[in-house]
């Protein structure tokens, strides 16, 4: 497939305009981030359905919870690094504990801000969000899955944290015309030699790795876990048992993300080996997102190399 020139955040905007036109209760809140979130078109199209809070991430969550209490369907768009760290008490209490229908969209997640360093990286957000009861945790792989996911979110009454990256992503799907369900993983490719399990924008890297492995006669299954909560344990067990060798790939700390979720499922199983490919527990070097992926072994070529070594291990 060719490169996609539309980032996931742009696909989000298009769906929010579509759904917001049909339902005036849908309200977008931004923290001086409508440009970063690609929501300028939403503001122009539906100016009465957007609230600019300014750089006040804790306030934006509480305001959204209040709007939800009054019957609105708020979507908060704020940089993931700040939304998931500065606002975590408000997310835990005002949204999740209070069971308010707020969709928290962490934009420019992972290492999207690359060169801005650790203060702007969000590599702990999934770990924190996973541990909060009554909060879904979702990461779309590409523009097509973003479309499907936000259509579902527009109809859902469940609080959720959704992480999006900043940059364009190569397509993983051929179109948005496929069955999608929150909480149901998608088997993107089938093979018998090794299983690659990925989430969010690392799904593309896992697919690239599978293509490289295929050229060397190694058949890989690729499982896209777009929902970290609710988590599709059944699908993970199925593909893990098929190959007995699992490599998880995520744009997150190696602690308490996708790899940990998979390990929790496989802990009671025997004969299945797992390796976690993620960012190490350290302050990362400075560089662009692709440079960081390559340096820390999260690009397709590096994942393929790791997989081959692990198979031979």
CATH number at residue 276: 3.40.50.920
> Which is more confidently placed, 185 or 168?
185
Are 195 and 281 contained in the same domain? Answer: yes
| 25: in domain | yes
Q: Which residue, 148, 163, 178, sits at the end of a domain?
A: 163
- Mean pLDDT, the chain, rounded, equals 95
Query: Looking at residue 139, which CATH number applies to its domain?
Result: 3.40.50.970
Are 155 and 271 contained in the same domain? Answer: no
**Are the C-beta atoms of 258 and 223 separated by less than 8 Å?**
no
Of 112-116, 175-179, 244-248, the range with the lowest mean pLDDT is 112-116
| 155: in domain | yes
**Given a cut of 60, is residue 15 above it in pLDDT?**
yes
Are 191 and 307 contained in the same domain? Answer: yes
Tokens of residue 12, six digits: 């989000």
> Which of these, 143, 176, 117, lies nearest to 4 by C-alpha position?
143
| 171: in domain | no
**Given a cut of 50, is residue 264 above it in pLDDT?**
yes
pTM: 0.95
Structural domain count of the chain: 2
Contacts of 179 (CB under 8 A, 6+ apart): none
Are 248 and 140 contained in the same domain? Answer: no
**Given a cut of 90, is residue 303 above it in pLDDT?**
yes
Q: Could you read off the pLDDT of 206-263 as tens digits, one per residue?
A: 999 999 999 999 999 999 999 999 999 999 999 999 999 999 999 999 999 999 999 9
Are 19 and 109 contained in the same domain? Answer: yes
Are 211 and 296 contained in the same domain? Answer: yes
Are 208 and 117 contained in the same domain? Answer: no
Tokens of residue 33, six digits: 């981030």
Give Cα 282 distance to the centre of its chain. 21
Are 228 and 150 contained in the same domain? Answer: no
Are 95 and 216 contained in the same domain? Answer: no
Region 169-195: what's the mean pLDDT? Answer: 95
Give Cα 256 distance to the centre of its chain. 14
Task: Measure Cα distances from 243 to 185, 237, 238, 266 in Å.
Answer: 17, 10, 9, 13
**Given a cut of 60, is residue 2 above it in pLDDT?**
no
Confidence of residue 106 (pLDDT cuts 50, 70, 90): very high
Tokens of residue 136, six digits: 């879904």
| 41: in domain | yes
Are 28 and 147 contained in the same domain? Answer: yes
CA distance 254 to 234: 23
Which residues form the domain of 82?
8-163
| 2: in domain | no
Are 132 and 223 contained in the same domain? Answer: no
> Which of these, 13, 297, 9, lies nearest to 169 by C-alpha position?
9
Are 118 and 218 contained in the same domain? Answer: no
| 1: in domain | no
| pLDDT of res. 6 | 76
């Amino acid at each position: 497939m060719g490169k996609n020139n539309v980032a996931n955040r742009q696909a989000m905007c298009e769906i929010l305009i579509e759904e917001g036109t049909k339902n005036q209760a849908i309200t977008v809140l931004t923290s001086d981030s409508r440009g970063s979130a690609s929501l300028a078109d939403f503001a122009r199209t539906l100016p009465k359905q957007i609230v600019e809070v300014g750089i006040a991430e804790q306030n934006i969550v509480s305001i959204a919870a209040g709007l939800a209490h009054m019957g609105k369907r708020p979507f908060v768009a704020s940089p993931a690094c700040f939304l998931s760290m500065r606002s975590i008490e408000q997310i835990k209490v005002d949204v999740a504990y209070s069971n308010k229908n707020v969709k928290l969209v962490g934009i420019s997640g992972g290492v999207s801000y690359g060169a801005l360093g650790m203060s702007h990286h969000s590599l702990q957000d999934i770990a924190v969000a996973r541990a909060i009861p009554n909060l879904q945790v979702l990461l779309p792989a590409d523009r097509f899955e973003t479309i499907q996911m936000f259509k579902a979110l527009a109809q859902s009454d469940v609080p959720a944290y959704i992480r999006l990256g900043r940059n364009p992503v190569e397509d993983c799907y051929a179109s948005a015309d496929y069955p999608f369900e929150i909480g149901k993983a998608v088997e993107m490719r089938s093979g018998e030699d090794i299983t690659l399990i990925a989430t969010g924008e690392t799904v593309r890297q896992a697919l690239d790795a599978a293509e490289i492995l295929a050229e060397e006669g190694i058949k890989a299954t690729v499982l896209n876990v777009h929902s970290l909560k609710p988590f599709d344990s059944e699908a993970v067990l199925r593909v893990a048992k098929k190959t007995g060798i699992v490599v998880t790939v995520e744009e997150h700390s190696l602690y308490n993300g996708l790899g940990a979720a998979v390990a929790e499922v496989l802990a009671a199983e025997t004969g299945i080996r797992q390796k976690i490919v993620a960012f190490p527990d350290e302050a990362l070097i400075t560089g662009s997102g692709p440079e960081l992926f390559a340096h820390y072994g999260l690009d397709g070529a590096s994942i393929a190399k790791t997989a081959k070594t692990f198979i031979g291990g």
